[in-house]
Amino acid sequence: AQKVTQAQTEISVVEKEDVTLDCVYETRDTTYYLFWYKQPPSGELVFLIRRNSFDEQNEISGRYSWNFQKSTSSFNFTITASQVVDSAVYFCALSSTQGGSEKLVFGKGTKLTVNP
Amino acid sequence: DAGVIQSPRHEVTEMGQEVTLRCKPISGHNSLFWYRQTMMRGLELLIYFNNNVPIDDSGMPEDRFSAKMPNASFSTLKIQPSEPRDSAVYFCASSFKGTRTYEQYFGPGTRLTVT
């Protein structure tokens, strides 16, 4: 069975602080994909990043960075110099390719509040 | 380019009524997904289609729920009869499935309230 755990239910920071959102996943498959999505207060789900299980390189996109470590089954997300507009619920998700499935399993989400 | 389009954005109905949610995927995408989001259960996949064919409907709660995809540009999710516990936000998403998995793009959601 596949599972995604986001242990941090809510995080509150002050603007300009760095913040890391944790994601731990479970799967028996050797080929899989990991994703992060952002859900701002307006409610839509916005795709942020996809990473496949064979690519452990960290990725940086502006103030966002992702740390993928297969050894600890983690795919953590860091926001540097947070801004009020980063306030949202962030979801980590896992997709196994076994049998050609595209099923996404989501974590429960971490609600980030960035205070001015 | 237009993203995933869902209608209606909000739906309020009485228990026992039929509800139909609609989705238009991104042009060129060949997979379509229906999700439900509630506070208690989070984001759950209900059903997904690839090339208009239902692939996995294991998340459909019960026979009151049905989904169709008559062509590549349109899908419906129907609840008949609706119950208060069906109140949730229903998202449609689409992606392109080729030799590898691509990200899913979500529509704005339909907020359903059943009284």
Average pLDDT over residues B43-68: 93
Return the number of CB contacts < 8 Å for A and B. 54
Structure tokens at A73: 């089954």
What proportion of chain A, given as a percentage, has pLDDT over 90? 78
**B9 has pLDDT over 90:** yes
Higher local confidence (pLDDT), A2 or B86: B86
Which of chain B's residues have a Cβ under 8 Å away from the Cβ of A104?
33, 45, 104
CA distance to partner chain A, nearest, from residue B62 (Å): 19
Nearest CA in chain B to A104: B45
Q: Which residue has the tokens 């509800």?
A: B19
What's the pLDDT band for A106 if we cut at 50, 70, 90?
very high
Residue A53 sits at φ, ψ, to 5 deg, of: -70, -15
What's the pLDDT band for A101 if we cut at 50, 70, 90?
confident
Query: Do B45 and A45 lie within an 8 Å CB cutoff?
Result: no
Between CA B109 and CA B9 the distance in angstroms is: 6
Where would I find the H helices in B1-115? none
Q: What is the pLDDT of residues B32-42, one digit of tens each?
A: 999 999 999 99
Which of chain A's residues have a Cβ under 8 Å away from the Cβ of B48?
102-103
Structure tokens at A45: 């789900």
Structure tokens at A114: 């960035």
pLDDT at B101: 66
What's the pLDDT band for B1 if we cut at 50, 70, 90?
low
Q: What is the pLDDT of residues B81-103, one digit of tens each?
A: 999 999 999 999 999 887 676 88
- Is residue A75 exposed (0-12), middle (13-18) or buried (19+ Cβ within 10 Å)? buried
What one-character-per-residue DSSP string does chain A give?
--EEE---SEEEEETT--EEE--EEE-S-SSEEEEEEEE-TT---EEEEEEETT----EEETTEEEEEEGGGTEEEEEESS--GGG-EEEEEEEEE-GGG---EEE---EEEEEE-
**A97 has pLDDT over 90:** no
CA dihedral angle for residue B19, residue A42, residue B36, residue B67, rounded to 10 degrees:
50
- Measured over the CA atoms of residue A55, residue A56, residue A61 and residue A65, the dihedral's sign is positive
Between CA B75 and CA A98 the distance in angstroms is: 25
- What are the E-state strand segments in B25-104? 31-38, 42-50, 53-56, 65-71, 74-79, 88-95
Between CA A69 and CA A53 the distance in angstroms is: 10
Q: Say if residues A34 and A51 touch (Cβ distance below 8 Å).
A: yes
